[in-house]
Structure 1
Amino acid sequence: MSLAVSYRGVFETAGVAADNRLEDVQGQLRQVLATIDALMAEANVGKEQLTRVQIWLADYRHFEKVNEVYDAWLLGYPKPVRACVGADLGEGYLVEVQVFAVDHSTSIYPDASR
């Protein structure tokens, strides 16, 4: 299974979860975002290209704590659309994230004016 794909200017990740499930939700989210940063760097994708972020939380009471880390991660960048929902993520997993990005200099249409 691929953690990320990039094709014709479109980038997306699978759902990314933390490797260390002993961390609290903020620690797990920092791990997840570091993994996403590495995947984006490998694909030469910047945060300014993000178009959508999907976040799953094992406990929705962590919403504000997640926002603190998420907002710091995107500080200085345009905020993509985001959905955040509660989900059963499995034993010890507190947060999972999937991101989508588009290279605006690349068009999937032959006529970029469309």
Structure 2
Amino acid sequence: MSEIQRIQSTERMSRIVKHNGTIYLCGQTAGEIDWDIQEQTRRCLTKVDNLLKEADSGRDRLLSVTIYVRDMKDFAAMNEVYDGWIATVEKPARACVEARMARPEILVEFSVIAAQ
């Protein structure tokens, strides 16, 4: 059986889980009342970059990205930032859905799976 490594664990979750050469990141949010969808997207993607680096991976190793957007009216603005972030690497599988968030100030959340 392959070892499962859990990094930055709390009583509720692990920020990074590594198994069989695959890295799973917990959902990344950046909800501040005065941040718009583009600033929240930038902050989330910076967190993703940092966690991938900690897990010995990177943007070029992305397998799948799931994006949860509080309101699809923000879809195009979020994509402007995301498209710039992903521009220089091979594209992962991706899904984007509208979702009710844990707090009203959270406009976007990213869930990422990557190869090590």
Report if TM-score (shorter chain) is over 0.5: yes
Question: Unpaired runs of 5+ in structure 2?
Answer: 1-12
Q: TM-score normalized by structure 1? A: 0.85
Q: 1:14 & 1:93 partners in 2: Cα distance?
A: 15
When Rg is computed on C-alpha atoms for both structures, the one with the higher figure is: 1
1:75: Cα distance to partner?
1.6
Asked whether 1:62 is paired with 2:74, we answer: yes
Q: Which has the higher contact order (CA 8 A, sep 6+)?
A: 1
Asked whether 1:99 is paired with 2:112, we answer: yes
Q: 1:86 & 1:51 partners in 2: Cα distance?
A: 21
Q: TM-score normalized by structure 2? A: 0.83
1:1-114 paired onto structure 2 within 5 Å: 1-89=13-101, 90-103=103-116
**Structure-2 change in CA distance of 1:21 and 1:32 (3 Å):** farther
3-state DSSP of counterpart to 1:27: helix
Please report the RMSD computed on the Cα atoms of aligned residues, expressed in angstroms: 1.2
Would you identify which runs of 4 or more consecutive aligned residues in structure 1 move more than 3 Å? none
1:19: Cα distance to partner?
4.9
3-state DSSP of counterpart to 1:5: strand
Richer in strand (by share): 2
3-state DSSP of counterpart to 1:71: helix
